[in-house]
Amino acid sequence: MTPLLEVEDLVVEMRRHRAAFHAVDGVSFALERGGALAIVGESGCGKSITLRAIMGLLPNRGRLSSGRVVVDGVTLPAEARGRGRGHRQHRRMSIVFQDALSALNPVATVGNQIAEAPRYVLGFGRSAARARAIELLRLVGIPDPERRYHAYPHELSGGTRQRVMIAIALSSEPAILLCDEPTTALDVTIQTQILALLAELRSERGLSLVFVTHDLGVVSQVAERVAVMYTGRFVETGPTAEVLAAPRHPYTSGLLAAALDVDSPEHEPVVIPGSLPDPLQLTGGCSFHPRCGFATAECLTTDVRLQLVGPNHAAACLHSDVLAALQAAGHHG
Amino acid sequence: MSSRAELGDKEPTTGPGDGLAAGLRPSERAAPFARRILTSPGLRYVIRRTLLSVPVVLGVIVVTFLLLRLIPGDPARTLLGLHAPPAAVAALRRQLGLDEPIWRQFWKYLYGLAHGNLGTSIEYQGPVASLIPPCLELTGSLVLVATFFAVVITVPLAALAAMRQDRPADHAVRLFSLMGLGMPSFWFGIILIVLLSVDVHLFPVGGYGTSFWAHLHSLLLPGLCAAIGIVPVLIRSLRVGMLEVLSADYVATARAKGLRPSRVTFVHVARNALIPTVTLLGINIAYLIGGTVVIERVFALNGLGNLMLNAIDFRDFPVVQGVTLIYALGVIVVILLTDLATARLDPRIRLK
Amino acid sequence: MSRATAPALGLKEAEHEVTRRPSVRSRALHSPTFMAGATLTTTIVALVLLAPLIGRYSPVSQDLLHTLAGPSAAHWLGTDELGRDIWSRLLYAGRTDLQVGVLAVLFPFCFGVFIGTVCGYFGGGIDTVVMRIVDIVLAFPFYVLIIALVFVVGVGTHGIYIAFGLTDWVIYARTTRSATLVARSLDWVAAAEGGGLSRKRVLWRHILPNTITQAIVYAMSDIVLVILAVVTLGYLGLGIQPPAPDWGSMISDGQNFIQTNQWLAAIPGMAVVLTGIGLSLLGDGLADILRPE
C-alpha cells in the first residue's frame, strides 16, 4: 500500500542578513493512511519550516531548494508557493498553526472563515457552506455553534480559537492534517481536550497526522511514530514507545532526561550543555558533537546519516551501540 | 468534553451580551429598538468617542483665546508694534475688549462662539463669521481633492512595494518617497505651474473659476501639491503596515485553504490593509490641511489660508483667531470621522 | 512542568540567538543607507559652513549692472534680480536655514523627552494633563499654529524658535511616553527597581537609553520638517527676514521671474530637496542601526 504522504530529502534554504543556510537539511519520512508521526525538537530546529515547506507556505526568505513531496503517489510541483495552492493534491493536506489568534483573520467572523473553503474551493452554495461550518463547529466541540458562527476571533478564548483553527483545517476535507505545535500556547487541561479531539478525528474519520511539538510529554499521546529533529535533520526516528524507552541518539536521551525531572525527584536536573548552534556556523561532522558526551574525533569529520538500529528504528549517531549498552546496564545517557 | 470553562474565561468585559451582539440571529433582532441602541457596542463606541472630542474642542477654544496673550505685556501693543501711538493702542484695546478682566473676556468669547460670533474684523469692519463660509468651501474642496490624490497615489505604490519587497519595484518606490520627503510643496507647485500652466495652458495659473467644473479644474494642481506634502510619509508607513499584513499567519491560513490568489489578496489582505490605511490617513490629515495654507498662496486661491495670510498682513487679529479656530475644529471633526471609520473596519476596536 | 516542556512564547520564526550582534560602528559602516545619508549630509553641511571661503561674494552685495545673469565664470550660478551672486546666497541661506532648523528642534527634543519620560514613568495627574495638552496642540494643523504664533510673537528667527518651542515637543513627549511605558513593564527594569536602585538611577541608566533611540530617530525626520517649515515661512515672508538670505525667500523672490528665469526659484528648492534627502537617509540609517534586533 503506497503511503499517503512521502517526503524525500527535503532541503529548505533560508536567507538571513544576506547569508543563506539550510533550515531543513535533507528530511525524509513516509506517512501511512490513518497514521500519525510526531516531529519533536527544540525551537529553531526547523520543524515548523518543514511543515510549511510541505504545504507550500514558506515565507519570502525561504526557498525549497531540493526534495520531493508526494501525496498519494502524485508529486507536488515545487513552486506552489504563492501561485497555485489550488493543486488538487495540495488540497488533501491542511495545516493547523500554533497561534490561533494570528492565524485567524481578525476582521471576518469565525463562521465565515470556516465556510470559506467549502464555498469557494469545494463549490458549496451559500447556505450549504454555512450549514457545513456550523456542523464543523459542533464537530470540534464548540457548543451553541449557530451563535458562535458570528463571533470574531478576538472574542473567543484560546482553546475555542484553536478548535476553530482545526475546524478551518477540516473544512477543505483533507486526508492529512499537519499540526504545528497546536497546543503549545494552551493550558494543560485544554491541551488534553484538543489532543483528545485530534485522536477522535483520527479514529472516526481516518485522518492522518503530522504533529510537530517540542513537548516530549505530548508525543506518546498523539502518535505511534516519532522523529527527533536537530539543526534541520532527523537524528532519530522510530516507534514512539521504543524511542522513548530506549533512545539511540544522545540528543534524544538528553531530552528525555531533562523531561523526566518531575517524575523522578531523586534525579538531579539534567541539562544538555551548550545551546543550539548557529546554522551559519556549522562545521562538518555531526552537528550535535559540541554538546555530546559520547563525541569522539570521528564525530567531527564524518557526515553522520540515519542508520537502522532496529526493525523500524533509525538513529544518526556513530555511537548508538554505546548508548544502548549503557542503557542496558541501567544508566541514563 | 466540557468546553464551558473556556467560553467563560476570555469573554469581553463590556457588559452582558455585548460580545455577541454582532452575532444576533434575525429572531433576536426583533428586540426593542431602543434597547438595541443602548446595548449595541458599535453605537456606544460612537457616542463614547464623540464625547472624548469635547475636552479637546474646549481646549482648542481656550488656546485660540489665549493666542494673543502669549506675550507678556499689552496685547494691543503687540499687535500694533512698539512704535504705535498710545491713542491707537487705547482704541484697539477698547475695540478688542481688552479692558475687561480676563475671565469676563473669556466668557464673552465663549458666549459669542455659541452664537456663531467670531468677532469683528479690524480690516473689513464686519463680522469675521461672514468671511468664513466661501473660504471654507474652497479650502474644504481643496482638502477633499488633496486627500483623493494622496490615497490614489499612496495605496497602489505602497502595495506594490510591499508585495515586491526588496526587489527593484520596492527600491524605486522607496527612492521616490525619499525624494518627496524634503520637497517643499509650494516649490513643487511653482514648478508645476511653470510646466503645465504658463507655457502649455493645461491648467489655470491661479484662481478658482466660476462653475463647478472650473472649480474642480482649478483645484487639481493645488490638490496634487498639497497631497505631495504627506504622500512620502504615507507611502513609507503604509508599506510597513502592508508588509505586516502580507506576512501574517492568517494569510497563510487563507492560502492553505486553496483559495484563488485573487480572493486571498482582495478579501484577506486588502480588507486588513485598509485598517492601517485609514488610521494613517487620520494621523496625517492635520498636516495635509495645514499645508493648504501656503498652497492657496501659490495658486492665488481665496480659501481660509489666504484669508489668514492677508489678515496677518493687516494685523487683523480677530480674523486670525477665528480662522485658526475653524481649522482646529475641522481637524477634530476629520480625526473623529477617521476613528469611527477605523472602528467600523476593525472589530477589535469596538470592545476597548 | 519541567524545562523541556516550558512553552516557547510566541516564537514564530525560529531565529537562532547565538550570533553576537556586530558593534554599532560596524553596523553603521555597513549600512548603505546610513553611509549615503551621512555622506550627503556632511557634504551639504561642509559646503554651507565653508560659505565664507567658497562663496565668493557677500550674499547681500548687489551689482545692479549685472542682474539676472546666467551662469558664468564670475558667477557660478548666475545672479538674481539685484545682481547678487546666487551661489553665495545659496550657501549663506543654507547656513541660516540649517542652523535655525537644528536649533529649533533642540528645545522640543529635550523638553519633549523629559516630559514624556516623566509621564510614562510616574503617570498620574501630570500624565493626564500633559497628554490632554498634547491632544489639543495636535488638533491644530501644524502650519496654521506656527503661522498664528509667528504672527503673535513676531517674525524672524526668535519668532521661529518660540513657535516651534511651543508646539514641536508634543510628538517627542508622546513617543517617549509610550516607549517608557513599554520599558517600565519589562522584567529587568522591575528587577532593577526591586533591587533598590533609586528611581532616578533607574530612569537614567536603564530606561532612558532605550527610549531615547526612538526620539533620536524621530528627531532626524523632525529636522527635515522644521527646515521645510522655516523655508515655507520664508516664502511667506514670515520667517527669516531680509536682508538675511533664506532659501524660502529666494524662492519667493524668484517666483516673480518665473516666466523668464526659472532657475532663480528652482535652484533654492533643489537645495532644500537635497538636504531633505540627506537627512532622511541619515535618519533611516540610524533607525536601522539602532533598532533592537
- pLDDT for A274 beyond 90: no
Neighbours of A282 (CB within 10 A): 14
Residue C20 has pLDDT above 70, yes or no: no
pLDDT tens sequence across B261-272: 888 888 898 899
Q: How high is the pLDDT of residue B90?
A: 82
Spell out which residues of chain B touch residue A59, defining contact as CB-CB under 8 Å: 247
Confidence class for position C173, pLDDT limits 50, 70, 90: very high
Cβ-nearest to C135 among B56, B297, B308: B56
Site of grid cell 528667527? C157
Give A226 to chain B, closest Cα distance, Å.
25
Which three three-digit cell numbers place residue C278? 540627506
Q: Which residue of C has its CA nearest to A44?
A: C14
What pLDDT score does C18 carry? 41
Which chain A residue lies closest to B166 (C-alpha atoms)?
A60
pLDDT above 50 for C7: no
Distance from CA of A104 to the nearest CA of B (A): 5
Q: How many CB pairs under 8 A join B and C?
A: 139
| Chain pair A-B, CB pairs under 8 angstroms | 132
Does residue C226 surpass a pLDDT of 90? Answer: yes
Is a pLDDT exceeding 80 seen at residue C54? no
Residue B172 has a pLDDT of 92
Q: Tell me the one-letter amino acid at A285.
A: G
Closest-CA distance of chain B to residue A84, Å: 8
Inform me whether the pLDDT recorded for A331 exceeds 60: no
**Contact assessment for residue B328 and residue B157, using Cβ atoms and an 8 Å cutoff:** no
pLDDT tens digits for range B316-334: 888 999 999 999 999 999 9
Residue B142 is predicted with a pLDDT of 94
Question: How much is the mean pLDDT over chain C?
Answer: 82
- The ipTM is 0.85
Angle between helices B128-163 and B168-181 (to 10 degrees): 150
Candidate from B181, B324, B331 with C-beta closest to C148: B324
pLDDT at B32: 62
> From the CB of residue B325, how many other CB atoms can be counted at a distance below 10 Å?
25
Please tell me if residue B314 touches chain C, with a CB cutoff of 8 Å. Answer: no
For residue B78, pLDDT beyond 80: no
Q: Is A191 on the interface with C (CB under 8 A)?
A: no
- The pLDDT confidence band at residue A79, using thresholds 50, 70 and 90, is low
Residues 6 or more apart whose CB falls under 8 angstroms from that of B58 comprise none
| Cβ C115 vs Cβ C169: under 8 Å | yes
H-only helix segments in C140-262: 142-153, 157-167, 169-184, 187-194, 199-201, 208-236, 247-255
Q: Are the C-beta atoms of residues A41 and A231 closer than 8 Å to each other?
A: no
- Contact between B112 and B119 under an 8 Å Cβ cutoff? The reply is yes
Interface of C with A (CB under 8 A): 1-5, 7-8, 10-16, 18-19
Residues in chain C with CB shorter than 8 Å from the CB of B297 are 236
Note the pLDDT tens digit of each residue in B125-142.
888 888 889 899 999 999
Taking CA atoms, A240 is separated from A228, B27, C7, C228, in Å, by: 10, 52, 22, 68
**What is the structure's pLDDT at C10?**
26
| Euclidean distance between CA atoms C2 and C96, whole angstroms | 66
Say what percent of chain B tops pLDDT 90.
39
> Is B226 part of the contact surface with chain C (CB cutoff 8 Å)?
no
Round to whole Å and give the CA distance between A283 and A292. Answer: 15
Partners of residue A221 in chain C, C-beta under 8 Å? none
Shortest Cα distance, chain C CAs vs residue A317, angstroms: 22
DSSP per-residue string spanning A232-285? TEEEEEEEHHHHHHS--SHHHHHHHHHHTTTT-TTSPP---SS-PPPGGG--SS
Chains that touch C (3 or more CB pairs under 8 A): A, B
A127 touches chain B (CB under 8 A): no
Strand partners, C164: none
- Indicate the average pLDDT of chain B: 82
Mean pLDDT of all residues in A246-260: 83
Hey, is the C-beta of C138 within 8 angstroms of any chain B C-beta?
yes
The DSSP string of A34-55 is: T-EEEEE--TTSSHHHHHHHHH
B184 at the C interface (CB within 8 A)? Answer: yes
Q: Which pairing describes strands A36-40 and A19-31: parallel, antiparallel, or unpaired?
A: unpaired
User: C46-290: which CATH architecture?
Assistant: Orthogonal Bundle (1.10)
Find chain C residues with C-beta within 8 A of A260's C-beta: 2
For residue C242, what is the enclosing H or E element?
none
A121–B255 C-beta distance less than 8 A: no
CA distances from B118 to A224, B112, B315, C153, C192 (A): 81, 6, 16, 22, 55
Stretch among A24-33, B267-276, C135-144, C209-218 having the lowest mean pLDDT: C209-218
Contact C216, C290 (CB under 8 A): yes
Chain B nearest-CA distance from C82, in A, is 21
CA B96 to each of CA A152, B58, B62, B65, B73: distance values in angstroms, whole numbers, following the listed order: 57, 21, 17, 12, 15
pLDDT digits (tens, 9 = 90+) for A127-185: 999 999 999 999 999 999 999 999 999 999 989 999 999 999 999 999 999 999 988 88
| pLDDT tens-digit readout, C96-121 | 999 999 999 999 999 999 999 889 88
pLDDT tier at A78, thresholds 50, 70, 90: low
Among B324, B333, B146, residue whose Cα is nearest residue B229:
B146
**Does the CB of A187 have a partner CB in chain B at under 8 Å?**
no
Which residues are paired to A315 by β-bridges? A236, A307
pLDDT of residue B39: 66
pLDDT value of position C16: 40
Q: pLDDT digit string (tens) for B221-262?
A: 999 999 999 999 999 999 999 998 988 899 999 988 888 888
Please tell me the distance from the alpha carbon of residue C104 to that of residue C146, in angstroms, as a whole number: 12
| More confident of the two residues C185 and B47 | B47
Q: What is the rounded average pLDDT of the residues C73-78?
A: 78
CA distance B67 to chain C (A): 7
Q: Is the per-residue pLDDT at A89 higher than 90? A: no
Cell 473669556 -> residue: B106
Tell me: the pLDDT tens digits for C174-216?
A: 999 988 888 877 767 677 777 766 766 766 777 777 788 889 9
Chosen for mutation from B167, B246, B249, B268 (greatest number of chain A CBs closer than 10 Å) is: B249
CA-derived radius of gyration, chain A: 21
Q: What angle do CA C153, C159, C165 make, to 5 degrees?
A: 100
Q: Identify the residue whose cell numbers are 556513530.
A: A318
For residues C128 and C227, give the distance between their C-alpha atoms in angstroms, rounded to a whole number: 31
Residue A267 has pLDDT above 90, yes or no: no
Neighbours of A273 (CB within 10 A): 10
Q: Do C145 and B287 touch (CB under 8 A)?
A: no
CA dist., res. A318 & res. C52, Å (int): 77
C113 residue type, one letter: V
- All residues of chain C having their beta carbon less than 8 Å from the beta carbon of residue B332 are 139
**SS3 of chain A: helix, strand, coil, percent, to 5:** 35, 20, 40
> Among A94-98, A272-276, C158-162, which is the least confidently predicted range?
A272-276
Mode of pairing for the β-strands spanning A225-230 and A36-40: parallel
Q: Is pLDDT at A85 greater than 60 in this prediction?
A: no
Residue C251: name the closest of A203, A226, B187, B280 by CA: B187
pLDDT at C65 over 70: yes
In chain B, the residue whose alpha carbon lies closest to the alpha carbon of C254 is: B190
Give mean pLDDT, residues A223-250.
91
Q: What is the pLDDT of residue C12?
A: 28
Is residue B152 predicted with pLDDT exceeding 50? yes
pTM: 0.82
Fold exhibited by the domain A5-223: Rossmann fold (3.40.50)
Q: Where are the domains of chain A?
A: 5-223, 247-328
> Which residues of chain A make contact with B346, given a CB cutoff of 8 A?
106-107
Angle of helix C157-167 relative to helix C169-184, nearest 10 degrees, comes to 30
Least confident of A196-200, B69-73, B138-142: B69-73
Highest mean pLDDT among A224-233, A255-264, A293-302, B112-121: A224-233
What is the rounded CA–CA span in Å between residue B232 and residue B153? 10
Residues 139-158 of A with CB under 8 A from B: 141-143, 146-152, 154-158
Crossing angle of the two packed helices C208-236 and B271-298, in degrees rounded to 10: 40
Terminal Cα distance for chain C, rounded:
30
Specify the pLDDT at position C202. Answer: 67
Provide the grid cell at A198. 485530534
Residue C159 neighbours by CB under 8 Å, 6+ apart: C149, C150, C153, C238
Mean pLDDT for the stretch of residues B63-83: 78
Per CB-CB distance under 8 Å, the chain B contacts of C136 are: 56, 59-60, 63
Angstrom CA distances, C293 to C12, C215, C287, C289, stand at: 15, 18, 11, 9
pLDDT for residue B2 is more than 70: no
Question: Are C269 and B187 contacting, i.e. CB atoms less than 8 angstroms apart?
Answer: yes
State the smallest CA–CA distance between residue C168 and chain B in angstroms. 13
Determine the distance in angstroms separating the CA of B146 from the nearest CA of chain A, rounded to an integer. Answer: 29
pLDDT attached to residue C244: 86
